[in-house]
Structure 1
Amino acid sequence: MNEKFLNLSEEKQQKIIDGAIQVFAENDYKHASTDQMAALAGISKGLLFYYFKNKKTLYLFLYDHIMDTIIKLIEATNFKDVHDFFELFKLSIRVKSELMKKNHYINGFILKAKYEENEAVKEELDRRNQIFLEEMFPRWFPEVDFSKFREEVSPEDVFMLLYYLGDGYMRDAVHRPDFDLDRICKDYERWMGWVKKSVYREEYL
């Protein structure tokens, strides 16, 4: 799939990817202009559709590309050597923030993808998002010491709480004129500290 696109040089691929991500980040799926994507990439619209069958194919390719990039960046770290739940969560935040610093439109794309309602892509996105969530916990927390949690606390529930806390904060913050990713990360890590105090056994605080 997308073999013609993947045969391009990495530089040309990245230019097309960056242009398309920007347009999708700034618009919902329906109003994302492929003409604008092609213009930002410096190619014709016809050539864009030569590489990708249609807008849906391009959109899902971009989603998969971003998710795969995040996974590879996290798994390129020493995450299996981190045994504390909250330290591992902090590591994932730092990796994602570094990626977003390179292209701040990535976060806008991801947020829009999570809540996209257009029928052309909604079913596929919902399926991908669900798979991603189901795989994240067992894939990235294999060596974590869960005995630090209080007996009545479910680590999976805490994971989902932190996931949606970060998701909601970014969804609001990304539209602010004073958007500051470093400040957001510091806020989030401070909030994680509060959560940690309520779910960890006292001897581990």
Structure 2
Amino acid sequence: MNKAFYNLDEEKRQKIINAGLLEFSSHGFSRSSTNRIVADASIGKGMLFYYFDNKLGLFKFLVDYSLEFIKTYYFKQIDMEEKDVFERLTKQTKIKAEMFKKHPEMSKFLSKVLLEASDHKHISKAQQDFIIQLQKKVEINLYKDIDTSLFREDLDIEQAINIIRYSIIGFGESLKGRVTQDMIEDNNYDAFYEEYDLLIKEMRKIFYKG
């Protein structure tokens, strides 16, 4: 990406970013059109290629932009003062749901990048590593400095936390195989949120004092 892109005024930059997110989230990488992007962004095609070289350059820039946005958004919202691990897990999912509703095109774009092989293959190794590291950082924060006094006294706390953590990871992995194209297009994962809430309630009953 040409650094000259950042010399544009913020409104113009955002218009190009929004046009790219809309196009890629609607059509995926292979079927996206730079002609539609420049029309929506009200810029010449030559300028788009000047800033990003080609469609792939724009795509990778938008992956970086979206990941950084989500990282900043999430860590501003997460409440580390909440010491109840199940409340923290519930609130984390609400943060995601709220972000999906506030930024639907970005959410759809990243869903395609993460879940559809046709788009995922276009991201770089560095971007894949960033995604993995971000997921690890989120996970670490979810279980950091929690109130262990809430757990049943007959439990091995460390093992209990590991079981909770592996259960959440397993649930997340199971979703990847169950996400439908309609869910991605509609940006609607309400059925999964309800299923997740039930899982949290059951684990609360199993691991916490009565």
TM-score interval, normalised by the smaller of the two chains? 0.7 to 0.9
Tell me which residue corresponds to 1:97: 97
Would you say the 8 A contact 1:90–1:189 is kept in 2? no
Segment drifting more, 91-100 vs 39-48: 91-100
Confirm whether residue 144 of structure 1 aligns to residue 146 of structure 2. Answer: yes
CA RMSD of aligned residues (A): 3.1
Counterpart selection for 1:193 from 193, 197, 204? 197
- Aligned pairs (5 A) from 1:17-28: 17-28=17-28
Would you say the 8 A contact 2:113–2:120 is kept in 1? no
- Give the superposition deviation at 1:20: 0.4
Segment drifting more, 33-42 vs 193-202: 193-202
2:195 partner amino acid: W
Tell me which residue corresponds to 1:203: 208
Residues 89 and 45 of structure 1: is their aligned pair in 2 closer, same or farther, counting only changes over 3 Å? Answer: farther
CA distance in 1 between partners of 2:117 and 2:84 (Å): 34
Secondary structure of residue in 2 paired with 1:121:
coil
Q: Normalising by structure 1, what TM-score? A: 0.78
Tell me which residue corresponds to 1:35: 35
Q: Normalising by structure 2, what TM-score? A: 0.76
Would you say the 8 A contact 1:29–1:118 is kept in 2? yes
- Give the superposition deviation at 1:26: 1.6
2:163 partner amino acid: S
Would you say the 8 A contact 2:52–2:58 is kept in 1? yes
Tell me which residue corresponds to 2:14: 14
Secondary structure of residue in 1 paired with 2:83:
coil
CA distance in 2 between partners of 1:175 and 1:194 (Å): 22
Tell me which residue corresponds to 1:75: 75
Task: Choose 1 or 2 for highest CA Rg.
Answer: 2
Would you say the 8 A contact 2:2–2:51 is kept in 1? yes
Unaligned runs of 5+ in 1: none
CA distance in 1 between partners of 2:142 and 2:7 (Å): 32
Confirm whether residue 155 of structure 1 aligns to residue 159 of structure 2. Answer: no
List per-residue Cα deviations over 1:120-168 (Å, max 9, x = no partner).
Answer: 6255354343333333211444233467496465233123134335555
State the number of aligned residues: 200
Segment drifting more, 135-144 vs 71-80: 135-144
Would you say the 8 A contact 2:90–2:200 is kept in 1? no
1:203 partner amino acid: Y
Of Structure 1 and Structure 2, the greater helix share is in 2
Displaced runs of 4 or more, over 6 A: none
- Give the superposition deviation at 1:2: 4.0
